[in-house]
Amino acid sequence: MPESEIVQVYAAADLAQAHFLRNMLADAGIEARVVGEQMSTLGLPVGEEAAPCLWVHHRDEQAARDLLVQWESTQAKPHPDEETTTGWKCPACGEMVDDDFELCWNCQNPRKPY
């Protein structure tokens, strides 16, 4: 990619994220380059770039930005494993048990007496 034909579209949190997003753009048919990969022996960025960035051809800029905004919106949503679950307190031993269970995982006491 000649430097005059490319634009920066994203500053990634780290190299892993930058490469993941580059591959995501590639899957959509958008050629992207990660800039700012050089690291010192201490693992810190070298030069002016503080974070690895994604650069694309000017003609692909809007499509790349749209995909990246869409990706960011999915990352902002709570993930199922991060959602808080409600539960109940076992009357026998006091343990908190997920709502999905009818027996206490600790003492096998039923949630509701039979």
Could you tell me the residue ranges of all domains in the chain? 3-79, 84-114
What CATH number is given for 3-79 in this structure? 3.30.70.790
pLDDT band at residue 1 using 50, 70 and 90 as cut-offs = low
pLDDT tens per residue, range 10-60: 999 888 899 999 999 999 999 999 988 765 445 555 554 467 899 999 999
Neighbours of 49 (CB within 10 A): 13
The string of DSSP letters for 48-73 reads: S-SS-EEEEEGGGHHHHHHHHHHHHH
C-alpha separations of 65 from 26, 31, 89 in Å: 13, 13, 47
